[in-house]
A and B are shown apart, each in its own frame.
Chain A
Amino acid sequence: MSKSHRNVLPGFRLSLSFTLIYLTVMVLIPLAACLFKACSLGPAEFIEAVWTPRAKAAYSFTVGASLASAAIDCVLGLLVAWVLVRYEFPGKRVIDSIVDMPFALPTAVAGLVYSSLYVENGWLGQFLVPLGIHAAYSRLAVVLVLTFIGLPFVVRALQPVLESLEAETEDAAALMGATRMQTFRWVIVPLLAPAMVTGFSLSLARGLGEYGSVVFVSANMPFRTEIAPVLIVHKLDNFEYPEATAMAMVLLAMSFSLLIVINVLERWSKRHYA
C-alpha cells in the first residue's frame, strides 16, 4: 500500500472518529448504563437475582439450545451451500433467495407459523404428534426454530469459500488416488474450516439473543422450556429493573466468553489448516 493509494473512505482520522463515536453511542453507553443499574444491587441481592436454580436452568437451556441449533445449522448449511454452488438446476436462483428468508421474516411471525404448524391440529403436527414427536411447545420446538433462524448465516459464510475452491485441487487429489471421502476430509474441510467456524459463531450468537420466535414456540415452563430472556422480561414486568439488568449482565458475560472461545478456535483453525 503506497502513499499515493487512494482510499475509498475519507482519511484515517475521520473514519476512526466516526467509528469510535458510533461504537460508543450504540454499544458502550447502553452497556455501561446496564452495568451501572445492575451494580445498584448488593452482592447478596445480585446472587439471589441471577443464580437461583430456575435461572441456572434458563441459562443452560438458552446456551444448550443455541449450541445444538448452531451445530445442526453447520451440517445443514454445508449441504445447502454445497448444492447451491456445485449444481445447476431449475429454480436455483429462487432457492438461493429463499435461503435469506429468515433474515427478512419478523421473528415473531416465524414463531407463530412454527407453533401453528406443529401443534396437534397443524399441517405437520397431525402426522408427527401421533408418532410422539412434539415439535411445538417443547425443547425440540425451540431448537427447530433456532435452526431455522440461524441457517442463512452458515450458508452465506460457506458459499464464497466453496465458490473459490479450485476444481484442480480436487482433480489432483483424485489423480493421486484419493477416495471421495479422503478428498473431502483432507482437501475440502481444511479450506472450509474457518468459514464454518464463522458461520457457527454467528448462528450461535443469533440463537443466544433470540426472543421473539422462541417465546411463541416455547411453553415458557420453568426448568423445562424457559429461556433466560423470558425471565428477564418477567422481572421487568414486575418493575424490578436492577434484577433484570443483573440477569442481562450475566447473559452478556456468558455470550462474551463463548464468543472469545470461538474466536480462539477460528484463529487456531486458520493457522492449523491454511
Chain B
Amino acid sequence: MRSIFCTFGLVLLTLAVGCSHGSGDGNEVELLNVSYDPTRELWKAVNEGFSEEYNASHTQQVTVRPSHAASASQARSVIEGVEADVVTLAMWTDVDAIRKAGLIDADWEDRLPNRSLPYYSTIVFVVRKGNPKQIKDWPDLIRDEIKIISPSPKTSGNGKLSFLAAWASITQRGGTREDAIQFVTEIYRRVPILDAGARGATATFAQKQIGDVHLTWENEALLEVRESKGELELIYPKISVRAEPKVAVVDANVKRHNTAQLAEDYLKYVYSPAGQEIVAQNFYRPIDPDVLARHRGQFPEIELAGIEQISGSWEKAQLDFFSDGGVFDKIFERKPE
C-alpha cells in the first residue's frame, strides 16, 4: 500500500516539475535562442544587453538561454523537438529546413529588416606568427606542403562557407565549373581533419597546433588571433564569400510558449544601435552604416561574392555541392592517391 502511494507521489512530483517549465509563472519568462557554433560570446553579450534593457522597462523579467553547436545539427534538433523560440543560424538553408518542417511560417525572411539579416560576415585565413608559409591568397592554399584546417561542410556552416569562398575565388575570376571543382578537390586533399563545427576546428588549429592555415569566420578569426597573444595572424584574401547568418522566430514554438512578441522584440534588439554596437564589438560586420563606419578599421574592405553570383541561391548551392552525392561527396568518392 505504502509503495503504491510513494510511486504515485513521485509521478505527481515529476509531472509538476515538468509542467512548471516553459511559459513561467507570470513574472519570469525564458527564451531559448538556438544558434551556431562560434557565436557564444556574441549572444552572451546581446542577451545581457537585451535583458537589461527589457527588464528595466517591463514588470516581466526575461532571461535568454543560448544553445550552440554546428549549424545544421542545431537545425535538425529544432526540427526534432528542441523548443527554440528563436533560431540564429549560419546558413539560410538551415533556417529554411525548419520552415520546411512547418515550424516557421513561409514568409519569415521578410518579417525582419534586411531580409532577416542583422549582421554579415565572411571567411578569412588565420596563419601562424610571421606567416612562415607566405600565404596571401587562395592560389597559395594548394601548394603541396600546406595543411588546411576547415570544418566539414556536411555539418558546419563555416565548412560550407569555406567551400563556397574557395569556389567563388575561381568562378569570380573567370574560371569554369571544372576549374572550380579541380580547385576545391585540391583544397580538401590538404585538409587532414574534418571537425564537426567551427569551434572544434579553431581548437584543432590554435590549441593542438595542427595545420598551416585555418579557413574560418572573420569573427572567429579575430577572436582567435586576439586570444593567441601574438602567435597567430589574420590574413584577408583578395576575395571571399558573403556569409548571411539569418535569424528567425520559430512560430510554432512561440505560439505554444506565448512568447511571440517577446521573441520578435529580442531579434529587433539586434538591429537597434545598441545591438549593432555589440555586434561590431564581437567582430561581426554590422549592417547599420554608422556603426560600421565607426569600426571601419576593424573590418577592411574585401571583395565579397554573394550567393547569387556563386550559385544563384542557397538552396541550389546546398543541392549542388553539399547534399548526398554532390560535389563535396564526389571529392571523396574515389580512394585517395
Q: Show the binding face of A for B, using Cβ within 8 Å.
A: 48-49, 52-54, 57, 115-116, 119-122, 136-137, 215, 219-224, 233-240, 243
Contacts and interface: CB of A to CB of B under 8 A. Distances in A.
B335 A238 contact: no
B324 A238 contact: yes
Interface in B36-77: 70, 72-73, 75-76
What are the 8 tightest A-B residue pairs by CB atom distance, in nearest-first order?
A222-B332, A237-B72, A219-B193, A234-B154, A220-B194, A119-B208, A237-B155, A223-B335
Contacts of B318: 238
Given A120-B209, A237-B155, A243 B324 contact: yes
Contact of B323 (A54, A119, A136, A240): A240
A233 B208 contact: no
Contacts of A119: 208-210
B231 to A, nearest CB: 12
Max chain B C-beta neighbours (<10 A), residue from A122, A219, A237, A238: A237
A215 B151 CA distance: 13
Nearest to B209: A121
A236 B336 contact: no
A119 B100 CA distance: 42
B135 to A, nearest CB: 20
Given A223-B335, A237-B73, A238-B318, 13 more contacts: A53-B335, A54-B332, A54-B333, A136-B208, A137-B210, A219-B194, A220-B196, A221-B194, A233-B155, A233-B196, A234-B155, A239-B76, A243-B324
A220 B152 contact: yes
Contacts of A233: 73, 155, 196
Contact of B208 (A116, A224, A240): A116
B196 A120 contact: no
Nearest to A49: B324
A238 B210 contact: no
Interface string B74-95: 0110010000000000000000
A45 B20 CA distance: 46
Given A116-B208, A219-B192, A220-B152, A238 B322 contact: yes
A137 B193 contact: yes
Please indicate which of the listed interface residues B70, B322, B335 has the most CB atoms of chain A within 10 Å of its own CB.
B335
A221 B335 contact: no
B235 interface: no
A224 B155 CA distance: 19
A19 B152 CA distance: 43
Contacts of A220: 152, 193-196
B302 to A, nearest CB: 29
A235 B325 CA distance: 11
Interface in B187-243: 192-196, 207-210
Nearest to A220: B194
Contact of A238 (B72, B194, B207, B333): B72
A52 B325 CA distance: 10
B97 interface: yes
B196 to A, nearest CB: 7
A142 to B, nearest CB: 13
Contact of B76 (A49, A137, A223, A236): A236
A215 B192 CA distance: 14
Contacts of A116: 207-208
A106 to B, nearest CB: 16
A46 B88 CA distance: 34
A254 to B, nearest CB: 21
Nearest to A243: B324
Nearest to B208: A119
10 contacts: A121-B208, A137-B193, A215-B196, A219-B192, A221-B194, A233-B196, A237-B72, A238-B154, A240-B323, A240-B324
Contacts of A137: 192-193, 210
Contacts of B193: 137, 219-221
B192 A221 contact: yes
B38 to A, nearest CB: 17
